[in-house]
Amino acid sequence: MRPIETLLLLTNLLTFTALVFPRLHAVRWTGYSALIALLIVGTQALMEGARWQMVPAYTLSGLFFLIWLWQNIATAGGIATNRLVAGLGVGLGVLGLAVSIVLPVILPVFRFPHPSGPYAIGTLTYHWVDADRPEAFSTDPNARRELMVQIWYPANGDPTSPRAPYLQDVGALTSTLARLHHKPAFLFGNLQYITTHAIPSAPVADDEPSYPVLIFLEGLTGFRQMNTFQIEELVSHGYIVAAIDQPYAAAWVVFPDGRKTSVLPLDQMQALVRQSYLPADRAPVLNGREYEQGIIHYLAQDVLFTLDQLATLNMTDPNDILTGRLDLQRAGVFGVSLGGIVAGEACRLEPRLRACLMMDAPMSTDVVQAGLQQPGMWITRDAETMRLERQQAGGWPEDEIHVHLTSMRAVYESLPGDGYFVQVPGIFHINFTDVPLWSPLFSWVGATGPIDAQRAFHIINAYSLAFFDRHLKGRPAALLDGPAQQYPEVILETRRP
């Protein structure tokens, strides 16, 4: 909860106690706590922004103020209060307090973990159109592939500068999430108040002439900011990260002119993705065209196009911020779930990518057959953890578990150079994203693994940073040399040439 929200709840609790136990009025200021609570309501709404999760707290503040006025009038006029009415009021007050506390706790305005690196973080967003590539997901033959790409970079930060919101166009996200998960949209309303550590359009940090570049790829029905916990940590240690929103695979994409795309119907999109690693006899069809190898190759072209656009941006940034600051000789890619599959395919196609991190994702048949030439890291979990997730949260049939683990291991074992196979027992799929921060409900209903969400973040960040530091910056990374005392639950396998 935000500070003034917490203050309001505490003041309401104090006011209720003072109303129930009039002797507390002997402490003079408690007699005015009802009035103080009303003032806090106004302050909170103005400074932090009102939200529906706080409506019970706002209502209680108003009711307590009216009761306080009544008590003062009744005391002055010698009016007795009916005991039954008083008892009912106390019971309703306790219930109201419980609801007013629980709602903002289960749907919090959370904060991201503070990045551990020395750099502040800046961010910019770009809209790029690939004029040479038709939009495969559109029935319009003239449509061309368009991407929204958000870039985070090491910055010279002013502690007083306003921070960027977690999500842009929150309304589009909440309506899409509501539709995908069959939940009312207002349940996601707290996301509009979340801010990050990034400063919009901040100047680039001048410690280095340029910084290595990483491309991040989202999961199916995800969004480009879905791994902010990981992106901010990498940027704080001197990386530029460009996250691609891939239209029709992302939950939603909003273009600068207001046009929006939503994810393709899930059954159709899952068939197109699955065809790349568990092919069906009958290939899926999209807009009249059969995709015998699935859609992954097409999505990987987004990465290649983004690399080209980053090279152009490095020559001339229209914002006059990133010109000359991107070191594309030290470029890597990382992705989660669908993004991990696409990352593997992009690395197969593109030698400009020098390091490849795939998180909890099977590898496409093409990647298994051809292998990868770059250093690679896979972060995943064991089959038993996947089965436990199936019991508690659904998904993960046995054929998916099998191809998930065997395809990753096949590519890992075929690497000609350095490779790392990182297993974290007890981590669930959702723990690879920001989503556990959204609400403790995910943990309570078993959607997250036995592992603590913050612990999962620490492990993912530590191994991601060590991998890219070693293979893009040439730095020592003792964490990758064997079992780590600070992460005893991690099972690490390594390959060296």
Lowest mean pLDDT among 12-16, 447-451, 457-461: 12-16
- The pair of structure tokens assigned to 328 is 């594309």
pLDDT at 416: 96
Give me the mean pLDDT over the 422-451 stretch.
93
pLDDT digits (tens, 9 = 90+) for 343-387: 999 999 999 999 999 999 999 999 999 999 999 999 999 999 999
**Pairing, β 252-254 against β 260-262:** antiparallel
294 and 364 Cβ atoms separated by less than 8 Å: yes
Out of 47-61, 228-242, 274-288, 448-462, which region has the weakest mean confidence (pLDDT)? 47-61
User: What band does 395 get if pLDDT is binned at 50, 70 and 90?
Assistant: confident
Average confidence (pLDDT) over 155-182: 83
C-alpha distances (whole Å) from 305 to each of 138, 321, 362 are 19, 21, 23
Q: Cα–Cα–Cα angle for 492, 495, 497, nearest 5°?
A: 160
Looking at residues 26-33, what average pLDDT do you find? 61
Q: Over pLDDT 70: what percentage of the chain?
A: 94
pLDDT in tens, 12-25: 888 888 777 766 55
Of 23-32, 187-196, 469-478, give the range with the top mean pLDDT.
Answer: 469-478
> How long is the chain?
497
Residue 328 phi/psi, 5-degree rounding, is -80, -5
Report the SS3 class of residue 403: helix
pLDDT at 442: 87
Q: DSSP labels for 294-351? A: -SHHHHHHHHHHHHHHHHHHHH--TTSSSTT-EEEEEEEEEEETHHHHHHHHHHHH-T
Higher pLDDT pick, 57 / 122: 122
pLDDT of residue 157: 81
With 60 as the cut, is the pLDDT of residue 26 above it? no
**83 falls in which pLDDT band (50, 70, 90)?**
low
Q: What percent of the chain has pLDDT over 90?
A: 73
pLDDT at 74 over 80: no
Q: Is 85's pLDDT higher than 50?
A: no
Q: By mean pLDDT, which of 72-81, 140-149, 219-228, 311-320 is the weakest?
A: 72-81
Whole-model pTM over 0.75: yes
The rounded mean pLDDT for the chain is 91
Predicted local distance difference test score (pLDDT) of residue 80:
46
Question: CA-to-CA distance for 221 and 179, rounded, in angstroms?
Answer: 11
Statement: residue 31 has pLDDT above 70: no
**Which residues make Cβ contacts (< 8 Å) with residue 274, sequence separation at least 6?**
280, 294
Stronger pLDDT, 209 or 96, i.e. the higher one: 209
The pLDDT tens digits for 230-273 are 999 999 999 999 999 999 999 999 999 999 999 999 999 999 99
53-62, 165-174, 245-254, 479-488: the lowest-pLDDT one: 165-174
Q: What is the pLDDT of residue 96?
A: 83
